[in-house]
Amino acid sequence: MTDAVHDVARGSERLLRIGVPSKGRLADLAAELLSDAGLTFRRTDRTLFARCRDMPVEVTFLRTDDIPVLVAENAIDLGITGADLVAESGVDVVERLELGIGSCRLALCVADDAPLADPAALHGKRVATSFPRITRRWLGDRGVDVHLVELSGSVEIMIALGVADAVVDLVETGSTLAANRLRVLADIGRYETVLIQNRDVADAELVDRIVRRLQGIVIARSWSLLEYNVPRSRLAEAEQVTPGFHSPTVMQLEDPAWCAVRAMVRRAEAHAIMERLEAIGASAVIETTITNCRL
């Protein structure tokens, strides 16, 4: 069905289309992210489309590895997928936002006990991967010529099966490597889940609104709001510990010797920052979760 026929069939103007993974952990994370950004939808069993409630947006459920090419071909305007899959597809799309989820690295791995010291030692050997484009380019840049075995999954068992001398695979927690007695010989790249966009979207304004909304959620998830009281004599030190996103808010307390400070801090650093604040005499230090923000 052409776009126009498809639109007429649903009796509406063309909705903005966002492609999201149809299954797996990333499907849940993407749905949660969209919902937090006010793009709520309900997927009924096995449907491939879901209309968002409050925006002219349609969510399309797709295979994660098809999303880059479908964005490039303008079948969908936006897509949520792995930056690794975007790089592997080699298509020309705009990466709008890193989504702070699905972080992993792509690594060249060999058997724990293999007497291989660096990638050059793989010259003339067999390397199994589901990332042939990235692997070929990375090894080619280093002058290492290998026989590539291209697979779509279960790459981690290929050394044990005798199919390859090395594999290029994603590493997240490292448990797959440990379970298969593999070690990393070299890191090839770090990737996370991203929002990608077709170069010529029809409604750029709506796309920008969605990007801003998602950005507000992504930033909110990695920052906290810290509030504390500190003696005015120690304020300069406290401000160095919590410089804030732009600068901290400082308010005078009734007691002229004290002031109250409010500043955003990286959530991962909040505990360490609270300890440093206590050490310089701050009290009533409170961390508050931010659920949404516009900076």
> For ligand PRP, what does the binding mask look like between residues 163 and 182, x meaning CB under 6 A?
------xxxxxxxx------
# chain residues binding ligand PRP, by CB under 6 A? 11
184 vs 235 by CB, closer to ligand PRP: 184
Distance between CA 152 and CA 109 in Å, rounded?
Answer: 17
Buried b (16+ CB within 10 A) or exposed e, 91-111: eebeebbbbbbbebbbbbbbb
44 vs 175 by CB, closer to ligand PRP: 175
Segment lying near ligand PRP (by CB under 6 A), choices 36-44, 95-103, 149-157, 158-166: 149-157
Q: How far is the CB of 106 from ligand PRP (least distance, A)?
A: 9
Using alpha carbons, select from 268, 279, 295 the residue that is nearest to residue 287: 268
Q: Which residue is nearest to ligand PRP (CB)?
A: 153
φ, ψ of residue 58 in degrees (nearest 5): -120, 130
53 vs 181 by CB, closer to ligand PRP: 181
Quick check: 187 binds ligand PRP (CB under 6 A)?
no
Q: How far is the CB of 154 from ligand PRP (least distance, A)?
A: 5
Quick check: 88 binds ligand PRP (CB under 6 A)?
no
DSSP assignment letter at 201: -
Quick check: 156 binds ligand PRP (CB under 6 A)?
yes
Distance between CA 37 and CA 100 in Å, rounded?
Answer: 14
- Indicate if the alpha-carbon torsion angle 81, 82, 83, 84 is positive or negative: negative
> What 3-state DSSP class applies to 196?
strand
Q: How far is the CB of 82 from ligand PRP (least distance, A)?
A: 10
Using alpha carbons, select from 71, 74, 96 the residue that is nearest to residue 20: 71
φ, ψ of residue 178 in degrees (nearest 5): -60, -45
Quick check: 90 binds ligand PRP (CB under 6 A)?
no
Q: How far is the CB of 27 from ligand PRP (least distance, A)?
A: 13
Q: Which residues pair with 270 in a beta bridge?
A: none
Which residues bind to ligand PRP, rule: CB under 6 A?
153-154, 156, 169-176
